[in-house]
Amino acid sequence: MSDRLIVIVGFVVMLVVALGVVVVTHVRRDQIAPLGETIAYLTRNRVARIVAVLVWAWVGWHFLVR
């Protein structure tokens, strides 16, 4: 299996997990906060937003640049 195929499979797995989390949060809304609310809570602080952007840039640079 090539490196490219492993990366593609990894992204597909992450997408499926993310969609599963969204579905579970909508079904159990009283017990689990939706993903959007969780991200909004985590990025209220300016430092947290900067860290989130830096992590996103790191992921993009290491996995999406070719």
Q: What is the pLDDT of residues 8-41, one digit of tens each?
A: 898 899 999 989 988 888 888 788 787 788 888 8
pLDDT, position 14: 92
pLDDT at 17: 93
Does pTM top 0.85 for this prediction? no
Are 33 and 42 in contact, with CB atoms under 8 Å apart?
A: no
Domain containing 9: what range?
Answer: 3-64
Q: Looking at the 3D structure of the chain, how many domains does it have? A: 1
CA 35 to chain centre: 9
| Per-residue model confidence (pLDDT) at position 9 | 92
User: Could you tell me if 17 and 25 are in contact, meaning their C-beta atoms sit under 8 angstroms apart?
Assistant: no
Q: What is the pLDDT of residue 50?
A: 93
